[in-house]
Structure 1
Amino acid sequence: MSAAASQPAYPQLSAESTSAVAQRLAEVVSRYHGDTLADDQLLELRSRLGTQLAAAERLHRFPLRNDQEPIFVVRADDGGVA
């Protein structure tokens, strides 16, 4: 595999960019639900959005090949029917 093929399709987000995206998303929520949320709730939302965006960015940068299987196993739940 060439070096170009192993590069991600978009540039890596910096911490400042991630924070800016979290701020904008919090602004959207504030526009729709600002009258029902307290200021401390909006600050908490912005913080959690930033954390989630940073985690998604780190996960996206983890190299995987097409032939790699996920580490988890999915099983159907029969609802306890025997």
Structure 2
Amino acid sequence: KMETIENRSAVFICCIGYVGEEQYIVRGECRGEILRYPRGDSGFGYDPLFYVPSCGKTFSQLPRDVKNAISHRGNALQLFARRLKQ
């Protein structure tokens, strides 16, 4: 369905909500592009198609620790951990 789409920019978003004495939501993002053809063999789902320009690789091509640090989920968890420490 996306074959003819020129603008292939994409953003993955992960939100984490907390309800306690305070209530808050943190939002993590990872911006990238959707490739026309997969690159890499690891990961799952969209990983071989989601290209991160700042890394020059797809999620599938990145070492797991790097992917986890820069992914939308990783960003949200980092923000959540910082917020919990406040």
Larger RCO: 1 or 2 (CA < 8 Å, sep 6+): 1
TM-score normalised by structure 2 residue count: 0.29
Q: Bigger radius of gyration, 1 or 2?
A: 1
Instruction: Considering fraction of residues, name the structure with more strand.
Output: 2
